[in-house]
Structure 1
Amino acid sequence: MTFTKAQDVINYLYSLPKLHDKADLSYIKRVLAFLGNPQDQIKTIHVTGTNGKGSTSYYLSSLLQKAGQKTGLFVSPYVFEFNERIQLNGQNISDNKLVEVANTVEAALTAICQIDSQFSLVTFEYEVVMAFLYFSLEKCDYAVIEVGIGGEHDKTNVITPEISVITTVGLDHEKIIGPTIEDIAREKSGVIKKNRPVILGNIPQKVLPIIEQKAKSEHATVKLLGRDFTVSDEKQLLYKDHSQKISFLPKPLVEGYDIGVAVQAFSLLDLTLSASDIQDAINHTVVPGRYQVLQNNPLIILDGAHNIQAVHNLLDFAHHEQKKRHGQIRILIMMMKDKDIAQVFDLFKPTDQVYLTTINYPRAAKQDDFPAWVQERYPYFSDWQTSYLNLKQASQTNDILLVTGSFYLVGEVLQREKHNARSRN
């Protein structure tokens, strides 16, 4: 097979199976070896965590670029277009390059299949191979690699990074890497490599010993938020470690933790940036769909929070803001049917006005996918566009409107706002 258009590549990727019968790395390692192990030809930083790994990856990418490094970035999911998943110096991979690397991977698969006719890759493996191949061909100085799910068995875990990062550990994907938070911590600690430092963010005390023991066994130096570096929410966001103190523009503290982890990770590299350059790089980083403020009066925030920990953090921030604004909180939420739907809805206050919606996507929860008590308590609107517009119009100057539950819904809203902005111009 030979691809000629980027959309053909994307359609093909989505037609592939999502999982192998066994959750090991033998398939992806075989293809990478055939291609000359491109993942070993670049320096990498490996980022995992239940929440915050995408934000941390974006911040690290900005810092590396500011330091003059040719920087690759592999993240998921995307908000606007598939090409966001693979970036070079902050620019999405072009359609032509996407087709080029996909054809190279496809040629490798064809050759392997002549020996082993049953061999194939799943969707995420194919994407990871394309990313490593692209970064190698472009001769990146560094590539920031965000895991898909977990750590030890994640398809990105074929690298020996300069630094590993674990942002948070919480409940998500329990059926795959759980069921307990201890299981999830063990899985995520799989990104820790021998004699390579690991940065730990907001890690619950009950699982911290699991991760520290893994680091000890690998002789990996640990840098821990709250012990080796701190982030505080004063008039501005303040980062401190043993050698520097840097303030950033105000952000939710949970986002500040991601900034702190990124700055600490960067400080361990053999690269130099002044405090003002670090400040500038962070302040100008836009993380799509993550605490993204569309407007301030009323305050409209888009956040792709899709698990218990992320939604809890978002609501904490919104309720804190509500005390200052004395307004109403409205929440438009769409979730995937395989998420912890009931536990998420336990987090809302009786005073929160919550509205359920959906999008045209196979995994998106429809009305009957929500628990009966959720359906009884909150209104459901099948048309997200109408419900979003109505909530936006109903919001007064001091109110807060949250759009959350999935990056897919956030992406739809951002696309709509982008289209409307173009129309006005």
Structure 2
Amino acid sequence: MGFYLNPNLSEEVISSDDLVVFLHAQRTAGSSFRRDVLGKTHGKEKIYAYQYIEGWENWHSVPEDVLENFGVFVGHSDFCKRIFSRKIHFITLLRHPVFRIFSLYDYSRKDDSSHFHYLAKNREILDFYREMMITSNARFNYFNNAMCRRVSGHYSFEAAISMIEKNFIAVGYCGKMALFSNWFSEKMGFGNIGIKSMEPDFFRYSDYLENEELVRTILKYNREDEKLFRFMNERFFKEPEDFFPWSEESGREEGSTNAPIISELKWKVVDGIEKYRILIKDKKNDQFVAKDIVEGGVYEINWTKELINNELMYRIQSQDEGVWNDLYGYKILEPTMEIVFSLLEEDERALLTKLQWEPVADSERYRVLIRNSKGLVSKRQTLQNEAYFDWGGAERSEKYIFRCQYLEAGEWKDIHKQYFEIEKPSKIFL
């Protein structure tokens, strides 16, 4: 078919009194669909888009009465479920995340009205992308995992698939725009409107694809969008896999990330020493959560929902003549983001905001400082260049900000001197 048609919703009639909500990430052919398809099926005067409406508001905040005389809402807005007096039909378009970034760069270079025009004109694409990520949290989110957020309100692949299956009548692929556009046009009572699909990105951006470091960097920060696109392509878009760059970790998705809840601690064994003791302590209350003895240099951690909410530290000891001696002092013990998300329910995941920053070479670890109007809220260390903020335990009316530091030679140094606002997920606005 070349696009996704929801079997539970596709038979619904879209009447002239209904509202079509087209949420999409930047550079996924949204402008073409708005202008060439929605413009013909509904007319420009019936489209609520920031290109046409002064004082345009995001999907989560625009009042229902403002949309009363419109048949379509269009925008770079994240999904959230809203209850209107009339029926709502969600649609979107997707694109491989690497090609989406390539397109953003080319667009920014060519269009002097772009917010990033000056930077794109004066930077090669890899430097441009890196600078966009470290300039602000808002820009980081603008460039990374935007498609998952558009369809679910969060950056999670699992949440994206769940929301698509529950709420989206159809999902198109910009590389097969003609198929999706003709279906929608016929759904609205029009015939084939003659939209052409664009040249395959694989050929259009062949020069950029030769930059392996660039491709790896984009995939590293767009893992959720990569999983979403691969899942949809394998099942619905049906483009050859060789047309797209994939990360080694991507694999084939089965409807969930299936992240393991077990991880391993490994250390170098000492000659002549068979038994080792692992001490795991919760830094929050200074209590031990595990004191286990194992043989060899591997210890399996079975992560639970309770454990991921702790600030864990661990140390390894070896036994010599009945006495336990430290191999090294306490180190940070933390789950990956994939493990965290595999242990949370959908509603819990929807209340998390991902914080991410550019890794620093030779950094020993990072520290995230979070503040609100009352002062410092938390100061948490991590080995990863990402963390999450849980709005479940936060004051919803408060504004939270964060900045990151890294440890080098025993001294904490700022990655950013300024604080950045932590965006509220769409769930907060329901």
The alignment's TM-score, normalised by the length of structure 1, stands at 0.29
Higher helix share: 1
Higher strand share: 2
